[in-house]
Chains A and B, each alone.
Chain A
């Protein structure tokens, strides 16, 4: 494995895991705060137990997200020093603000976890909300930095020099809003579905049914809001890509020929050598409409760009298809949820209804990872779109593959431990979190 590939793989693995950790860390606090709110309003002790159970999940994921985030802040320099040397001062603004948001989150988590019975109950509740809001803010700010790589702004690039640097302009680049909006929505959908599915499974297994039903209802609600907003935010993101990075859009759709009234390609096998796509379903004129809001608009094809500016077409295309597929499935589940809640309440207790959510546990995260693959691989061969190539940014240090193997091992074991810990939290629900259970006997009532 050559060093460049190893560096890219290490970055991909680190980000791939960090995205999951931080999305859970971003959304779980809202679930927790919602359940806490229900408790404060209804005085139902089950909600209190649920809040505590979820708060442990938040604590575990926050800590892991914090360490993987710390790692990434170093890895940027360890793997891409030439990039950071120039980009740091330009796109660093959101990072310095994120520091504040993250700090507030850490403080609020301390207050929340250790503050039961200690503070005014609404102040305590507010701390939980602050955890969520600041977590979300961190996420949105970090996405601003990534968006800058897709849509560089806030400097003039003259003869290889970066002049007239304006970090504020760089932060408010064109890609920020579409990317951050889509990301936030996706985080809610992914985490919502994962959490809802786990609790649905427990209801199906008839364990602490009232506890898990409450948990399921709350998390499914968040999941569905995300799933239904995702197509809208996705559309905004796609239109923004069409304008800023036409070659990425072309790769997403394996769209080789520039044409008016371009058709939307579903599935298929892209053949980069012969510049065509085989076995695909084509919906006439839809791509033009989705990209430009006009059925007859011209969509640039890959052939209009020099081949060394193409991203790996197949990877981007497949990833995009996967994202669209799972996104659509989640949207359909969202519609079923709405129908069940507003018109067909008898569905709510049907086992197929719960089983659908159980099946959907990984869907959101698959879509999320696929979406990030589209964004990141679709940006290649550039690390700063149109300015600096990824290969020119890599560290001169040899032997990166060992670091890649090692970090991969670390992340995999970290994830296994987290899964193991969360499973144990679920197993302990009767004893620690569900006050209606006969075995309820928490050792420590203050935590």
Chain B
């Protein structure tokens, strides 16, 4: 059962990074869009994420619940030593979630929209940045439980060049995903060339910040290169990710946008595999060389069994609905093109 639970943890993190990440990316892209295209980008993006956004963020809750029920020490370690970035990330999540809802459901369309929109933009940037920092802190050995002062315990546990680079990398990744995902929505729109250009630009950012991550790891003596390339699987996933980058480009040229989405998701999964496989099952590496392993820190067997069953039964219950939701609304643009005029914001 422990494997089932770990699998769920991993899958929900993956899905959060993909769906939630695309969601954040949407805000990031809008933020960096030229003013003239903003309205258009906003429409496309709001159309593609509005019906499912609430579901996207559920994955984070699932992952957190799995952590505190199944692996309480890991949860409390993160929430104690990474208190500050977690709070900052939470602020992003709150501000973003509410601003997005208000933007969509406010009855009156007036200058308040601008405020919601500003909040939406900056929180879209903030959240994945700190998500990246937290992820980096867990594996870079920067958490020092033996530090004597506040700075050492609660600040330098996450504030370091590697963390910041991973933060930027995560942000670019989100923007990249969002631009890939929204191509499908934009395929009948005259904004398509802009979106394609965006996808190319963000891909460059991903590669550039990715290189930064490796450089900063080298600088901070984190054996990232060794982790990833010392085992066959690491080399395989990185190669696959790179190859699929080329395929993505081809698919964009051929306007196979659903395929583009699939490739985008695949690349993220490959990156996550590369980032987690090497030290699996150790999920937190401390400064003093010790670590917390998913197996050693798991809760009592009865708890894990109950948790596993709850997750399995829950997904049997949820997945058909979720799937139906996605197919009901995923293809709105074509239907609305064919049957009626495009949906306006209410």
- Which residues of B sit under 8 angstroms from A115, Cβ to Cβ? 328
Give Cα A443–Cα B65 distance, bound, in whole angstroms. 41
Of all chain A residues, the one with the shortest Cβ separation from B87 is A403
Whether B334 is near chain A, meaning CB under 8 Å from some CB there, is: no
- Which residues of B sit under 8 angstroms from A153, Cβ to Cβ? none
The minimal Cβ–Cβ distance linking B258 to chain A, given in whole angstroms, is 20
Whether A303 is near chain B, meaning CB under 8 Å from some CB there, is: no
Stretch at the interface among A54-62, A178-186, A209-217, A310-318: A54-62
Q: Which of A123-166 contact B (CB under 8 A)?
A: 165-166
Give Cα A191–Cα B313 distance, bound, in whole angstroms. 32
**Contact A444-B344, Cβ < 8 Å, known A77-B75, A428-B107:** yes
- Assess whether A107 is in contact with B55, with CB atoms less than 8 Å apart: yes
Whether B314 is near chain A, meaning CB under 8 Å from some CB there, is: yes
- Assess whether A63 is in contact with B101, with CB atoms less than 8 Å apart: yes
The minimal Cβ–Cβ distance linking B283 to chain A, given in whole angstroms, is 15
- Assess whether B98 is in contact with A89, with CB atoms less than 8 Å apart: no
Give Cα A403–Cα B106 distance, bound, in whole angstroms. 29
Give Cα A113–Cα B55 distance, bound, in whole angstroms. 14
- Which residues of B sit under 8 angstroms from A399, Cβ to Cβ? 150
- Assess whether A427 is in contact with B302, with CB atoms less than 8 Å apart: no
Give Cα A64–Cα B94 distance, bound, in whole angstroms. 8
- Assess whether A397 is in contact with B80, with CB atoms less than 8 Å apart: yes
Give Cα A395–Cα B322 distance, bound, in whole angstroms. 38
The minimal Cβ–Cβ distance linking B277 to chain A, given in whole angstroms, is 26
The minimal Cβ–Cβ distance linking B143 to chain A, given in whole angstroms, is 13
Give Cα A68–Cα B70 distance, bound, in whole angstroms. 23
**Contact A167-B105, Cβ < 8 Å, known A103-B318, A443-B344:** no
Give Cα A129–Cα B98 distance, bound, in whole angstroms. 24
**Contact A77-B94, Cβ < 8 Å, known A70-B61, A88-B299, A96-B307:** no
- Assess whether B325 is in contact with A69, with CB atoms less than 8 Å apart: no
- Assess whether B105 is in contact with A106, with CB atoms less than 8 Å apart: no
- Which residues of A sit under 8 angstroms from B328, Cβ to Cβ? 111, 115, 118
Chain A, residues 20-55, CB within 8 Å of chain B (1/0): the string is 000000000000000000000000000000000000
Whether B102 is near chain A, meaning CB under 8 Å from some CB there, is: yes
- Assess whether B106 is in contact with A104, with CB atoms less than 8 Å apart: no
- Which residues of B sit under 8 angstroms from A69, Cβ to Cβ? 61
Whether A248 is near chain B, meaning CB under 8 Å from some CB there, is: no
Q: Which of A63-94 contact B (CB under 8 A)?
A: 63-64, 66-71, 73-74, 76-78, 81-82, 84-86, 88-90, 92-93
The minimal Cβ–Cβ distance linking A133 to chain B, given in whole angstroms, is 13
- Assess whether B300 is in contact with A89, with CB atoms less than 8 Å apart: yes
- Assess whether B94 is in contact with A89, with CB atoms less than 8 Å apart: no
- Assess whether A106 is in contact with B55, with CB atoms less than 8 Å apart: yes
Q: Which of A338-386 contact B (CB under 8 A)?
A: none
Q: Which of B150-179 contact A (CB under 8 A)?
A: 150, 153-154
- Grouping DSSP codes into helix (H, G, I), strand (E, B) and loop, the B interface class, with mixed when no group exceeds half, is helix
Of all chain B residues, the one with the shortest Cβ separation from A89 is B299
- Assess whether B105 is in contact with A73, with CB atoms less than 8 Å apart: no
Chain A, residues 200-243, CB within 8 Å of chain B (1/0): the string is 00000000000000000000000000000000000000000000
Of all chain A residues, the one with the shortest Cβ separation from B82 is A78
- Assess whether A425 is in contact with B57, with CB atoms less than 8 Å apart: no
**Contact A86-B72, Cβ < 8 Å, known A60-B102, A67-B97, A398-B150:** yes
- Assess whether B54 is in contact with A66, with CB atoms less than 8 Å apart: yes
**Contact A77-B68, Cβ < 8 Å, known A70-B93, A96-B311:** yes
Whether B259 is near chain A, meaning CB under 8 Å from some CB there, is: no
Of all chain A residues, the one with the shortest Cβ separation from B154 is A397
- Assess whether A97 is in contact with B83, with CB atoms less than 8 Å apart: no
The minimal Cβ–Cβ distance linking A287 to chain B, given in whole angstroms, is 39
Give Cα A373–Cα B90 distance, bound, in whole angstroms. 26
- Assess whether B107 is in contact with A103, with CB atoms less than 8 Å apart: no
- Which residues of B sit under 8 angstroms from A102, Cβ to Cβ? 58, 61
9 closest A-B pairs by CB: A92-B69, A77-B79, A89-B299, A100-B314, A63-B101, A428-B107, A81-B76, A88-B72, A106-B54
Contacts A78-B83, A166-B302 aside, 5 further interface pairs with beta carbons under 8 A come to A89-B303, A92-B65, A96-B311, A100-B313, A444-B344
Q: Which residues of B contact A (CB under 8 A)?
A: 50-52, 54-55, 57-58, 60-62, 64-66, 68-70, 72-73, 75-76, 78-80, 83, 86-87, 90-91, 93-94, 97-98, 100-102, 104-108, 150, 153-154, 299-300, 302-303, 306-307, 310-311, 313-314, 317-318, 321-322, 325, 328-329, 343-346
